Amino acid sequence: MEKFRKLKISGKILKAIESSGYKEPTEIQEKTIPSIIEGKDVIGSSATGSGKTFAFGSGIIDKIIVGMGVQALILTPTRELANQISKHLKIFAQHYDINITEVYGGVGMEPQVRAISHSEIVVGTPGRILDHIGRRSLNLGKVRFLILDEADRMLEMGFIEDVEKIINECPKERQTLLFSATIPLDVQKIARKYMKNPINIEVDAYVDPSKLYQIYYDLGSSSKFSLLVHLLKKEKSGLVMVFCNTRRNTDVVAKNLIRYGINALAIHGGLSQNQRDNVMKAFHSQRALILVCTDVAARGLDIKGVSHIYNYDTPKNSTDYIHRIGRTARAGKKGIAVSLVAQRDYDNFREVCKNPDLNIEKVEVPKDVEILEVSFVGRSSFRGGGFRDGGMRRGGFRGRQGGQGGGFGGRRDDRRSFRGGDREGQRSGRSYGQSSRGSFGRR
């Protein structure tokens, strides 16, 4: 606790974190909290799970005046993250009389209206915040603290106009805190336009690379689901997250895992709030050990004890890949990240491998994998696992083992682009069977 005390955090908050079992601050907390307490605008860049909520919470909670209306607004991209932030803030504020309310779509407006009327801190998604502003059930005229959390994801999801409208509803005299896993151009523009001489703080991803084993399998599309089942049945310890690029693939993978006796749950933006809440309760209680998810649904979720990450679909770049694998190998524990790379994944995998800090080893596909049938809702079953969203592509890919990049095999005019599922729910997919295989190998 001595390191927390050195950050000049208030006694009430120190008492709360001590009773909650926190031992020492994370790097992002240690570097941002002093500036936040001093009232400076801060841009904090660190990965999901690095403790950003406590970083900004410890700096604003002690300055809130009870009964003076909404004084702090926290914008976040997803409902799950709004719930999570609210839950954590309530822990840190347990010795204060502050009211904290989360607002998001998918649930009724009236309970939120009543809660906002006697709240000092509001955590919400941009769309629903704008709904309340339009109904005049949320007045931002007294906001002294504006926090943009997971800013890069909010802008990726198309919330930039909504975010700017909300910022313009807040008083110009305020403290603005921006937290983001990455700082792309759109985030930089927001910072330049709406922040005052911000302190920039960047920390490394909250993952211990020495404890994270990264591997990939190069396989035919018809073998993809079958290999996933094989690996999941072989490895029975710990919590597992399986990432897909689209809602459709998420549903198909989860339903077929259940069909083959594997207790899996799916979560994505197409589910109702009650469905999403029930999925997370089941996963946290470990009634289901395998969560099949999209990046959008999983971003910011507080999930501890994940032992394995499976990339059923390859993310479009190394940044998204690092976000995914950063959910394991935390707090000194070991973790494994497994990528199932078929022909349609080659473009994305090449982008991932451009990051020289990644060491992804090639592993041969086990010879005893049983090829299974995959069932689609409203469609006949077929043998294999190669469902996707988008077009086919010919030609191979040659990359260095260890993920140091590579080039394509085949003629340039054979390499048609594949753009399936980069954004959640972008396009619905079609099933296909056996496709030609490209190759990953040493050059």
Residue 169's pLDDT is: 97
Residue tagged 């211990």 (tokens):
208
8 Å CB contact between 369 and 413: no
pLDDT at 416 over 60: no
Q: What is the pLDDT of residues 134-193, one digit of tens each?
A: 999 999 999 999 999 989 888 878 899 999 999 999 999 999 999 987 788 889 999 999
Residue 429's pLDDT is: 33
Residue 111's pLDDT is: 96
Pick from 23-37, 205-219, 272-286 the range whose average pLDDT is largest.
Answer: 23-37
Nearest Cα to 51, choosing from 75, 23, 27, 35?
A: 27
pLDDT, average across residues 107-118: 95
Going from the N-terminus, what domains does the chain have, and what CATH number goes with each?
2-202 (3.40.50.300), 209-431 (3.40.50.300)
What's the pLDDT band for 386 if we cut at 50, 70, 90? Answer: low
Residue 211's pLDDT is: 66
What's the pLDDT band for 283 if we cut at 50, 70, 90? Answer: confident
> Percent of the chain having pLDDT more than 90?
51
Q: Which two tokens stand for residue 378?
A: 């409203």
Query: pTM, whole model, 2 decimals?
Result: 0.62
DSSP string, 286-327: TSS-EEEE-HHHHTT-----EEEEEESS--SSHHHHHHHHTT
What's the pLDDT band for 383 if we cut at 50, 70, 90? Answer: low
Residue 302's pLDDT is: 63
Task: Give the count of beta carbons closer than 10 Å to the beta carbon of residue 24.
Answer: 10
d(CA 351, CA 194) in angstroms, rounded, equals 32
Residue 12's pLDDT is: 94
| Residue 342 or 106, more confident | 342
Nearest Cα to 105, choosing from 79, 130, 80, 132?
A: 79
Question: What's the chain's length in residues?
Answer: 443
Q: Which of 33-42, 100-109, 387-396 has the lowest mean pLDDT?
A: 387-396
Nearest Cα to 103, choosing from 123, 76, 77, 73?
A: 123
Q: What is the pLDDT of residues 14-28, one digit of tens each?
A: 999 888 877 788 889
Residue 381's pLDDT is: 53
> Percent of the chain having pLDDT more than 70?
78
pLDDT, average across residues 75-94: 92
pLDDT, average across residues 75-91: 91
Residue 340's pLDDT is: 97
Q: What average pLDDT is seen over the chain?
A: 81
